[in-house]
């Protein structure tokens, strides 16, 4: 029975993922080229503003090579972009499937997971570009082999958070707007643009550093950078933290789906 349930989840999620992939760049001239053009444009803007104007620093490569801020930044943007895009697309996917949900019953997690799977394809393109650049610079190590483990944990974490926000938005549409604003705050509260070591320990009485270091998204971003840019495998404690964060987020997402996702079509 459990195996049949898992297969049903996979089938439903993949069905919605295919639907999302077909519709994402439909009727656009560049098609899937946009999946690279958009993040590269964002990278260029942030690199100029924070790398050249504000002179934000970056640590050395894992090979001790002189740092390149744009490469270090790109690693952070790829990781954070998967999370923020997954949560926001999950909200849109669930609300957008309201008409279909009134006709045919399916669990609310199906369109959310489907949109996350579709977003994974775009992230894989960005990840491939990051690894190609790092390989061209000679910054390669066996730590790259741990990236799939990191990705699995991050997918579970993002899926859980996305389900919570999507179902909350289905009950109260204002949540979708609030989430967009919240993601801007979370972006700057995550060490994507700056190394967390640049935050003074005494800032805001020391609380700012404590809050930033407790941010689980920041830990996922930093682990990805460690594996690919810094060529460090990460401490056992860091991996346990990521595993616990993924498990808690996924359990929370399932609990919210079970408690508030039933008869959701009537409320949408």
If DSSP codes are grouped into helix, strand and coil, which group holds residue 114?
helix
Domains held by the chain: number:
1
- Per-residue DSSP letter, 22: H
If DSSP codes are grouped into helix, strand and coil, which group holds residue 60?
coil
Mean pLDDT of 90-105: 79
Q: What is the pLDDT of residue 4?
A: 44
Q: Which helix (H) or strand (E) holds 89?
A: helix 69-96
Tell me the whole-structure pTM to 2 decimals.
0.85
Q: What is the pLDDT of residue 3?
A: 47
Taking 90 as the threshold, does the pLDDT of residue 133 lie above it?
A: no
Q: Which helix (H) or strand (E) holds 74?
A: helix 69-96
**Domain containing residue 243:** 2-267
Average pLDDT taken over every residue of the chain = 82
Taking 80 as the threshold, does the pLDDT of residue 34 lie above it?
A: no
pLDDT tens digits for 140-166?
A: 999 999 999 999 999 999 999 999 999
């Amino acid at each position: 029975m459990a195996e049949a349930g898992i297969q049903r989840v996979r089938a439903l999620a993949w069905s919605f993922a295919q639907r999302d992939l077909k519709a994402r760049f439909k009727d656009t001239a560049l098609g899937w080229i946009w999946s690279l053009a958009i993040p590269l444009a964002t990278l260029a803007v942030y690199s100029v503003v924070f790398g050249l104007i504000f002179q934000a620093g970056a640590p050395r490569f894992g090979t001790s090579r002189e740092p390149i801020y744009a490469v270090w930044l790109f690693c952070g943007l790829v990781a954070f972009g998967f999370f923020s895009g997954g949560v926001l697309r999950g909200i849109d996917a669930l609300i957008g499937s309201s008409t279909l949900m009134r006709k045919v019953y399916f669990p609310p997690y199906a369109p959310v997971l489907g949109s996350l799977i579709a977003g994974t394809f775009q992230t894989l393109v960005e990840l491939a570009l990051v690894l190609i650049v790092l390989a061209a610079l000679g910054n390669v190590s066996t730590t790259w082999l741990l990236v799939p483990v990191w990705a699995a944990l991050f997918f579970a974490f993002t899926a859980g958070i996305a389900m919570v926000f999507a179902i909350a938005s289905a009950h109260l549409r204002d949540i979708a707007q609030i989430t967009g604003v919240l993601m801007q705050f979370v972006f700057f509260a995550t060490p994507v643009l700056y190394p967390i070591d640049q935050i003074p320990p005494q800032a805001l009485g020391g609380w700012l550093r404590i809050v930033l270091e407790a941010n689980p998204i920041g830990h996922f971003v930093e682990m990805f950078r460690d594996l690919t840019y810094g060529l460090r495998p990460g401490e056992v404690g860091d991996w346990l933290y990521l595993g616990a964060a993924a498990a808690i987020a996924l359990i929370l997402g399932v609990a919210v789906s079970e408690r508030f996702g039933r008869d959701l079509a009537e409320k949408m």
